Chains A and B, each alone.
Chain A
């Protein structure tokens, strides 16, 4: 069974600085997708960024980028120029066949002014 591990329960960063959230996963599949979701206090699940395992190039979305290391089964999220609105719970998630998402336990990120 696939598992996703987020080893940082909580992190904090100063506004305008850069922070990296860690995620590792375990799977025997070769074709899969990885996601980072943001959950602000409103509890809504918001897709931040996604990565297809067959793509070697790391995905980027504005201030958000990933470092995808397929051999190491690592998928970290880098947030540049952190903003107060980035304060949220962040979930790393894995999906292979059948559309099932497997989530990590989450990392609470606090951006301080």
Chain B
């Protein structure tokens, strides 16, 4: 089954404790992206990657890091989480060419930073 997986689905942590949210896709997509969802703001892009070893900032990159060492994986790293990073996070992937531009979303990760 074609899918994007994220782990963990739920996470409660404390300020300053490094964490990683994993994202993996099995569709051989070049493009992967992270979004955060906050009430009244919709989804906003954090970071994206056009292919292996190619990453760039989105609209709200402060406090986050990413890496793309393999095509299928795109982890989101919070090195020193703060309460304002409490949010719902989505990973998404798609092809970058042709007519297959639809983005497939993971199930979301609910993060609470206390």
Residues of A within 8 A of B (CB): 4, 6, 9, 33, 42-45, 47, 50, 91, 93, 95, 98-106
- The answer on a CB contact under 8 Å between A105 and B101 is no
Residues of A within 8 A of B110 (CB): 43
The B interface is mostly helix, strand or loop, or mixed, namely strand
In whole angstroms, how far apart are the Cα atoms of A82 and B37 in the complex?
Answer: 26
- The answer on a CB contact under 8 Å between B88 and A43 is yes
Residues of B within 8 A of A (CB): 31, 33, 35, 40-45, 48, 50, 58, 88, 90, 92, 94, 96, 101-103, 105, 107-108, 110
- The answer on a CB contact under 8 Å between A99 and B31 is yes
How many residue pairs at the A-B interface have CB separations less than 8 Å?
Answer: 52
- The answer on a CB contact under 8 Å between B94 and A47 is no
**Considering only CB atoms, which chain A residue lies closest to B30 in the complex?**
A99
- The answer on a CB contact under 8 Å between A95 and B101 is yes
Residues of A within 8 A of B43 (CB): 91, 93, 101, 103
- The answer on a CB contact under 8 Å between B94 and A99 is yes
- The answer on a CB contact under 8 Å between A33 and B101 is yes
With A103-B42, A105-B40 known, 15 other A-B pairs at CB within 8 A are: A43-B88, A43-B110, A44-B105, A45-B92, A45-B105, A47-B102, A91-B42, A98-B48, A98-B50, A99-B33, A99-B48, A99-B103, A103-B35, A104-B42, A106-B42
- The answer on a CB contact under 8 Å between B44 and A100 is no
- The answer on a CB contact under 8 Å between A101 and B102 is no
Residues of B within 8 A of A43 (CB): 88, 107-108, 110
